[in-house]
Structure formats: C-alpha cells, structure tokens
Amino acid sequence: MTNLITITKALSNYLDTLKRMFEQSEKPKADKEFFQFVKKETVPYFDLLEKWEFQALQAIRERKSTLHSQQITSTKENMETLILHSYYIDVRKRNYMEINKSCHYIFNQVIKESQGEK
C-alpha cells in the first residue's frame, strides 16, 4: 500500500503542476516539434498513471478500498485528459478545474484509505 500512496501523492502533485501550466500558458501551435516535446514530457506520467490504476484496482479487489473500480478508471481517464489539455489549451477553464478537482478528490480518498482512514 505504501507504493500506492507514493504514486498517488506524486500524481496529485503533478495535477497541481498541470493546473499552473494550464493557467499560465498560451495556446501553443500544434506542430510536430511541439507534439514530440509533449510526448517526451508526458510519457513518465502516463506510465505512472498506469501503475496507479493497477495498484488502486488491486486494492479494491483485496477489499482494502471502498472506492469502486469505475471511479479509478474514470480518474485515470480524466487525468490523461488533463495532461493533454494542460499542453494543448483547448478546453474551458471551468471544465478543466472541475476535472482537476474530481481527480484530486479520488486521489485524496485513495491516500486516506491506504493510510487506514475511512
């Protein structure tokens, strides 16, 4: 469970970084060079997200979490969406913030439950 907590905290911190990027960036040009930059920057986070989903779903199967598997899957998909929207500023701020808040909520729940809080 400790590894799940570590991964979840790292993703939660990354959410904050993405939010700052979203708020401070201007809409970039969508060219091949920028795409390669984004791909290189985000691959480690997509990999970390995959590990998080696997471990969080495992915690649910082992009845160590009261969350539902769909919440984990949706959070992973939302986080993937946020990663891309943080580089390609192509969504309304309100929608972005709602998705960000939703991801934070689930990450906080995972951390609380992993630490024995319910």
pLDDT of 77 above 60: yes
**Quick one: pLDDT at residue 26?**
78
Domain-wise residue ranges, the chain = 2-114
Per-residue burial over 82-113, b = 16 or more CB atoms within 10 Å of its CB, e = otherwise: bbebbbeeebeeeebeebbebbbebbebbbeb
Does 1 or 55 have the greater pLDDT score?
Answer: 55
For residue 27, pLDDT over 80 is answered with no
Q: At residue 23, does pLDDT exceed 80?
A: yes
pTM of the predicted model as reported, rounded to 2 decimal places: 0.89
- Return the CATH fold of 2-114: Four Helix Bundle (Hemerythrin (Met), subunit A) (1.20.120)
Q: Average pLDDT of 48-76?
A: 95
pLDDT in tens, 100-118: 999 999 999 999 998 886 5
pLDDT at 118: 57
